[in-house]
Amino acid sequence: MKEKLRQLKLDFSQEIKKVKSPAELEAIENKYLSRKSGLLNNILRGLKEVAKEEVAEIGAFANELKQSIVEEIELLRHKLSSGGQSTSFDFTLPGNLPPIGHLHPITEAIREIASIFGGIGFQRQRYPEVDWDYYAFETLNMPGDHPARDEWETFFIDSKPIKMNLPANSQKLVEFGKRILTPHTSSGQVREMEKGKLPIRMMNLSKCYRRQMDVSHTPMFHQFEGLVIDKDINITHLKGTVDYFVKKFFGADRTIRLRPHHFQFTEPSFEVDISCGLCHGTGRSEDLPRQSGAEAGGGKCRMCKEGWLELAGAGMVHPNVLRAGGIDSQKYSGFAFGWGVERCYTMKAGLNIDDIRLLYKNDLRFNEQF
């Protein structure tokens, strides 16, 4: 049988040399490889009669032979279809470039923010995205029945409230409450304090979830939270840090102001405003027609109306929060801020997105514009 296969190999190599057209090639392909009547299979049908110990060797030989026939036929087919030349490919032609994408604008913003704060020593930390009520509210000076909680339209996980020992103090049994999807990055504050390492200069830049969906809200969004705790930390450190970020991220000509506000977890608390990039803090627009009754210098700025844009919250860490994290509030003080990435990004780009949900629709027609 091996002899027959060898003969077939010889015959094939003679015959294929004579092939001149695709039709002849097809004929020879059928002649040798056709499953029903091909010469190769005809021979292999006799494999049943071959002695057992030879079957493996002959089988392997036949396989190799078939492979080489197939390859020769394919090679010739390619040659014939390219007009008889060995190749029709012009290597000097410029190629078709595959479309090149880019990162999602929010991913780019996240990386930029992390790198700006990284430059002044804020280390990015990660905390659970599904966390306990304890870290998101209770330790942030918002006990169970506190009305301030309503502002955080929280997603609760269907779980039973539990009591656990504190990771930092195994003697202390506390109510951890229910599990929730973190409604703000502030849930990382006490978790960071519990690590027991001071001073702290952390950044929590993560996903947040709230039960809100309309043109200006998505149920998932991002915040970046900075927390600094050390001896003698005061408001000037907060102001300097925020100002540094705003100048790096929005531009050197921007300034900030702190407006008194209220958060349960900071005292004092502030709302940070940033000077408007369009009217440079004047609230007036030179390029708009003077409106009757408007102040001298043009019409009102269409972006901000009064020179400032509301950016986000910040404040000096409340002593109750420090205590909840096991830190002596007589010796240490700190500041914190927590801002929305999407808000900062759209403000920076001067984007007036009618519907913020577009950011997460995965619609390339939208994403490709950035």
Binding site for ligand DAH (CB under 6 A): 184, 186, 225, 263, 266, 313-315, 336-338
CB of 267 to ligand DAH, least distance (A): 10
Rounded to the nearest angstrom, the gap between the alpha carbon of residue 235 and the centroid of all alpha carbons in its chain is 33
CB closer to ligand DAH out of 241 and 285:
241
CB of 231 to ligand DAH, least distance (A): 19
Asked if residues 133 and 178 have their Cβ atoms less than 8 Å apart, the reply is yes
CB of 97 to ligand DAH, least distance (A): 43
- 313-322 burial by CB neighbour count: b if 16+ within 10 A, else e? bbbbbbbbbb
CB closer to ligand DAH out of 301 and 336:
336
CB of 315 to ligand DAH, least distance (A): 4
CB closer to ligand DAH out of 109 and 301:
109
For residue 108, the SS3 value is helix
CB closer to ligand DAH out of 19 and 229:
229
CB of 314 to ligand DAH, least distance (A): 5
Question: In whole angstroms, what is the distance from residue 182 CA to residue 199 CA?
Answer: 25
CB of 336 to ligand DAH, least distance (A): 3
Axis-axis angle for helices 235-250, 105-118 (nearest 10)? 140
CB closer to ligand DAH out of 24 and 271:
271
CB closer to ligand DAH out of 307 and 315:
315
**Locus of tokens 């405003």:** 273
CB of 194 to ligand DAH, least distance (A): 17
**Ordered DSSP codes for 52-83:** HHHHHHHHHHHHHHHHHHHHHHHHHHHHHHTT
- 206-226 burial by CB neighbour count: b if 16+ within 10 A, else e? bebbbeeeeeeebeebbbbbb
Burial class (CB in 10 A: 0-12, 13-18, 19+), 115: exposed
CB closer to ligand DAH out of 307 and 340:
340
For residue 42, the SS3 value is helix
Sign of CA dihedral 332, 242, 201, 119: negative
